[in-house]
Amino acid sequence: MKLDNLRTFIAKTVLQEVGRAFTAAELSHDARLFLQVRQGMTEAIDTTGYPDFIDPEKRRSIEDEEDFIENALGDLGPQADRYLEIITSEAYKKACDRAAHYLGITVDQLHQRFPNLHTAMGLLMNTAQSVEELEKNSKQQLEQMAKDVVLNLPENKHIKRLVEEGRVILDVQLAPPDLRQGVTDNDLNRPMRNGMTVQENLDAQVASTLMGETEGKLRRMFANFIAQGDAINKFFLHNQVSEELAAIDPTLPNKYGLLSATSLLMNYWMPNHPFTRDFVRNFAVGSEQVIPSGQNYILKVRGRNFVLLIHELVKAINDYLSMDVASQEELDTEKLSDEMKQFMVGPGIDMRLRQMIPVEKIELLPYIKKLILRLPIDQLKALFMQGGQSQAIMQRVIRTAEQQARGRGEQ
């Protein structure tokens, strides 16, 4: 396997399962106890009982986090950042647990197995090379399996119907990504149709949003967080078809798990890198695009392996549901580097959303997502604050979703 292929795999499959809490008043009992125990600690991210593989810059990005989302969501309360650190700590430990599980060792032995970053990269290289060999003669089968495992989820019943009707066309391939439309750090000075550069448009959008003058950027931000969070939280969905994968090769399920878990761990360990065009060209591992085709839509999905194919297909479905919540200008200025923040915040938002939906209503999820992304902005913010108002908003959304589903003969 070429080194650039290894780097490509590492760059995006290293995903963080981190979320954000939105009010101190809504902290769980366990979280409050944790906060009390943590008083006076100098290290905000807690790795007690686990090896500390966290890159210092990435640690600071969590402990000193201060970004657009804080302004977009309003006052998160005095404990908001601390709670983010708690969730980061829990997600990091979960990543360590998964890596130890697939390595067949204890967490205490991780430092022995990975004495430095080079050894972890070596494991990824060997595992990725093995996976590439095992997949090369089963590409069509794996492509179909990726579509099946995603569409057969109860929450995708509506999407599956659209695919069967031909209204949504899935173009899913195990192939290199196509990110020619993505905005890299090299493109920020590129002029756009309105005469402003990409960076000038970005600055204007953020300023306007913070002053409450535009809603598109906020809606798209929420949509991206939900899409990334959904995809990351399904990062181990391949376990649902482990028997089919084992029929291709008995070692394949564990290798996917090892590849995913080690990559997830390395997302904390590897230093940040600028998202230049060369970096994206050499490091990109997957892509998805929603393409209008007459009255229908094509979901173009590319991934370098089966795990990534599932990840990108989940993102594509979410993008299909939210494609009209922002202007074309706002879509054209989305930076590829924005995904790093989405990786950290998105999983928590996705989990909070699902906690508000009764299990028996999960088939309505596509309708619910479309509806919440089109709520008035004050209601959209209130929904994720998870108070009494949040519950009332979600109940109304679910009732509307049920009406829409019945209108289409789905219930």
The tokens for 33 are 């106890």
**217/205 Cα distance (integer angstroms):** 7
**Secondary structure class of 191 (helix, strand, coil):** strand
pLDDT computed for residue 92 by the predictor: 79
Q: Are 217 and 204 in contact (CB under 8 A)?
A: no
Task: Output the CA–CA distances (angstroms, integers) from residue 282 to 7, 12, 43, 86, 127, in the order listed.
Answer: 7, 11, 35, 34, 19
Q: What is the pTM of this model?
A: 0.74
Helices (H), 39-165: 56-63, 68-72, 80-103, 110-113, 117-135, 139-151, 157-164
**Secondary structure class of 27 (helix, strand, coil):** coil
178: how many CB neighbours lie within 10 A of its CB?
16
pLDDT computed for residue 33 by the predictor: 40
**342/126 Cα distance (integer angstroms):** 29
pLDDT computed for residue 107 by the predictor: 94
**Secondary structure class of 65 (helix, strand, coil):** coil
Task: Annotate 149-173 with b (16+ C-beta within 10 A) or e (fewer).
Answer: bbbebebbbbbbebbeeeebebebb
Q: What is the pLDDT along the chain (411 residues), one digit of tens a residue?
A: 444 444 443 333 332 322 232 233 333 433 344 334 434 434 467 888 899 988 887 777 666 655 444 444 444 444 444 545 665 677 778 788 888 998 899 999 999 999 999 999 889 888 888 998 999 999 999 999 999 999 999 999 999 999 999 999 999 999 988 765 644 455 456 666 655 564 555 455 555 544 444 577 778 888 888 898 899 888 889 999 999 999 999 999 999 998 888 877 877 787 876 655 554 455 567 888 899 999 999 999 999 899 999 999 999 999 999 888 766 655 555 655 667 667 766 777 788 889 899 999 999 999 999 999 999 888 887 887 666 788 899 999 999 999 999 887 665
Q: What is the DSSP string of 302-332?
A: EESSHHHHHHHHHHHHHHHHHTTSS-HHHHH
Q: Are 345 and 235 in contact (CB under 8 A)?
A: no
- SS (HEC) of 235-293: CCHHHHHHHHHHHHCCCHHHHHHHHHHHHHHHHHHCCCCCCCHHHHHHHCCEEEEEEEE
Q: Are 308 and 13 in contact (CB under 8 A)?
A: yes
Task: Annotate 92-129 with b (16+ C-beta within 10 A) or e (fewer).
Answer: bbebbbbbbebbeeeeeebeebbeeeeebbebbbebbe
